[in-house]
Amino acid sequence: MKIELSNNKVFFEKQGSKKEIHPFWLRERVNSEEFLDQKTQQRLFDPTMLKKTPEISKINISDKFLEVSFKDGAHAKLVIENILKEFEKDNELYHFNKISWDSSFQNKNRFNFSKNFFEEKVMYESLLDFYKYGFVIFENVPIENNFIVNFANSIGSIRRTNFGEFFNVKSKPNPNDLAYTSLPLAPHTDNPYRKPVPCIQLLHCIQNEVEGGLSTLVDGLAVTEALKKEHPDFYKILTEIKVRFQFVDENVVLEDWAEMIQLDENNRLKQVRFSPRLDFVPLMEKEKLELYYSARNKISDMYNSEKFRIEFKLRPGDLLMMDNHRLLHGRTEFNANDGDRFLQGCYIDYDSTEGKLKHLKRKFNI
């Protein structure tokens, strides 16, 4: 794809087809001081007040830049590469070099915590790994009660839920969720009943003196890719049927309808949801339900199979950051009489990690 000029008009050419770029699109992007606040990158004019597109008076193109002057005195110096990116209309991070993995994955994406590392290059590298694999582990994070809140707010902003700003994962009497017992937890995604579903879960290990209680992770991307290949009819129905996810306790009823495998407008994986203790498929004809139940059983088998699962023990000071729209997580059983097992968790959203990543990219000019 490239940019070309002809008769005071700007064209882009892609796969042999040449189309004009609307001059208003260029006029909106004028970036001289008079028209764009250089610090905030916000417009100093309201483009909806321009009832007619000012005419282009001069254009110039070099290897890197397109320069356009308009008859009303506005001027744009645009990086050509950025224009082409806008044409693709893609958030580069969502699909940035995602690498699906299974049980053979060598867990090397571990990073050492240090006091100011949120503003260092190592944070950028760790966030890239997060987008690549869907999780990352930080080591030697201070074992202070509630430190997770500081950690989350140093990347972005904590996402509060009805479980509070953060939650303690510890077996406790009369739990309102199985997470707060010593029972094994099969791979699941968190809070599929919430609108929107929290994007990223942070889990900080404060104490872990028990024998079992291993953390488990499964890559939903790898499983859905395999399902699509091996059982396209199962893949299809799970991408089409919206089921009702529900959470009920004394104070709240949370519900949402969504597909177990949600695709984006380009049919790429957007989000997996899996929590078979709280999903309710709508009433449909028997044959369709038959297919749906077979599909759910198959994906459950895959999510629970050793082929896709990695297991590891979180040690005190480890902080696991995982993508709740892509990965499933769980834990193996443990005996609460062995000793204390105490983790603290919270959620953040993608704008936290994306915002931080883009900020660090800009800061280090990467």
Please say which residue, 74 or 148, places its beta carbon nearer to Fe ion: 148
Rounded CA gap, 31 and 293, in Å?
56
For Fe ion, how many residues bind (rule: CB under 5 A)?
1
CB of 344 to Fe ion, least distance (A): 13
Q: Is 323 in the site for Fe ion (CB under 5 A)?
A: no
The stretch near Fe ion (CB under 5 A) out of 68-76, 115-123, 189-197, 270-278 is 189-197
Q: Which of 130, 158, 169, 190 binds Fe ion (CB under 5 A)?
A: 190
Residues 142-181 as x/- pattern, contact with Fe ion by CB under 5 A: ----------------------------------------
102-114: b (≥16 Cβ within 10 Å) or e: beebeeebebebe
User: Which residue is it, tokens 């699909």?
Assistant: 95
188 vs 3, 36, 111, 192, CA distance in Å? 47, 47, 25, 9
| CB nearer to Fe ion: pick between 212 and 355 | 212
Q: How far apart are CA 25 and CA 47, in angstroms?
A: 10
Bridge pairing between strands 17-20 and 253-259: unpaired
Continuous H helices in the chain: 23-28, 80-88, 121-133, 147-155, 220-230, 232-240, 286-304, 350-363
Stretch that binds Fe ion, among 190-198, 259-267, 292-300, 350-358 (CB under 5 A): 190-198
Which range, of 40-48, 85-93, 182-190, 244-252, touches Fe ion by CB under 5 A?
A: 182-190
The residue of the chain with the least Cβ separation from Fe ion equals 190
Q: Tell me which stretch binds Fe ion (CB under 5 A): 95-103, 183-191, 265-273, 288-296.
A: 183-191
Angle between helix axes 220-230 and 232-240 (nearest 10 degrees) is: 120
Considering Cα of 70, then 74, then 78, then 82, what sign does the dihedral take? negative
The nearer residue to Fe ion, 23 or 345, going by C-beta atoms, is: 345
Min CB(190)–Fe ion separation in Å: 4
CB closer to Fe ion out of 129 and 190? 190
Residues making contact with Fe ion (CB under 5 A): 190
